[in-house]
């Protein structure tokens, strides 16, 4: 997984649904570090992995199966 990566974020705790952002890092402490645009400004947010879903904006172009990501 190449970082940073463009993602679409779903996080009910912050009422984020279909919010575009950029995944910067995955913390061993259980958080996604993401950058989001709010009110024409860029903000960094730490979102809990257990309560957040990310969809990568770039589709997979190859038909090979990607290795599992350790969680």
Rounded to two decimals, the pTM is 0.77
Domain that holds residue 28: 5-56
| Per-residue pLDDT reduced to its tens digit, 18-56 | 999 999 999 999 999 999 988 889 999 999 999 999 999
Number of domains present in the structure of the chain: 1
Residues forming a β-bridge with 46:
33
Residue 29 in any domain: the answer is yes
Residue 40 in any domain: the answer is yes
Residue 27 in any domain: the answer is yes
Residue 71 in any domain: the answer is no
Coil, helix or strand at residue 3: coil
The closest alpha carbon to 32, from 41, 14, 40, belongs to 14
């Amino acid at each position: 997984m190449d970082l940073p990566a463009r993602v679409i974020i779903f996080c009910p705790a912050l009422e984020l649904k279909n919010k575009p952002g950029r995944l910067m890092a995955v913390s061993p402490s259980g958080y996604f570090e993401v950058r989001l645009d709010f009110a024409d400004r860029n903000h960094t947010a730490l979102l809990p992995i257990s309560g957040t879903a990310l969809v990568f904006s770039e589709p997979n172009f190859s038909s090979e199966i990607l290795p599992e990501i350790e969680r």
